[in-house]
């Protein structure tokens, strides 16, 4: 079971990573659960590419953050976990809507945590992006 609630994680991010809200509040933790978390990225015109599509880097930042939040919720506010690997498949053009990212942890070891993230345009059934990633967890 997670050791932090959704509110705990939000407060931690607010305090430790205020820069993720640079330019306006964008990322929200929707839920945390056993080995999982869901994040939302609010639609904002500064994420937009020509043709109206949300940029790849916006989706990559969201996936990295969803993975971090899922790990944080399970192990508590360690702060120093660092991403070692991220892999993305870009599947479809996202619409001009919020993005929702569902993260599921595949492994939560002593030294490494691995998870996958599926990103949807809000209200759509088919994913726009799929990611897998690894975090290195500092000795506790």
Pairing of strands 129-136, 99-108: unpaired
What does the block give as tokens for 116? 């996958």
Contact 69, 39 (CB under 8 A): yes
Determine, following the binding rule CB under 8 A, whether residue 21 of this chain makes contact with a second copy.
Answer: no
Determine, following the binding rule CB under 8 A, whether residue 33 of this chain makes contact with a second copy.
Answer: no
Residue from the set 56, 78, 96, 124 that interacts with a second copy by CB under 8 A: 56
Determine, following the binding rule CB under 8 A, whether residue 44 of this chain makes contact with a second copy.
Answer: no
Determine, following the binding rule CB under 8 A, whether residue 11 of this chain makes contact with a second copy.
Answer: no
Q: Distances in Å between the alpha carbon of 38 and those of 102, 112, 123?
A: 5, 20, 15
Rule CB under 8 A: which residues touch a second copy?
16-17, 19, 22-23, 46, 48-50, 55-57, 60-61, 64, 82-92, 106-107, 111-112, 114, 116, 118, 126-127, 130, 132, 134, 136
């Amino acid at each position: 079971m997670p050791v932090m609630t959704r509110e705990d994680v939000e407060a931690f991010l607010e305090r430790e990573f205020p820069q993720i809200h640079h330019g306006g509040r964008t990322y929200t933790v929707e839920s945390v659960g056993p080995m999982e978390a869901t994040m939302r990225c609010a639609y904002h015109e500064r994420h937009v590419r020509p043709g109206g599509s949300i940029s790849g880097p916006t989706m990559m930042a969201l996936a990295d953050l969803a993975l971090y939040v899922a790990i944080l919720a399970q192990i508590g506010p360690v702060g120093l976990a660092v991403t070692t690997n991220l892999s993305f498949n870009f599947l479809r053009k996202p619409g001009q809507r919020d993005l929702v990212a569902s993260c599921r942890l595949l492994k939560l070891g002593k030294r490494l945590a691995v998870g996958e993230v599926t990103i949807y345009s809000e209200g759509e059934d088919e994913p726009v992006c799929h990611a897998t990633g690894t975090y290195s967890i500092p000795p506790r």
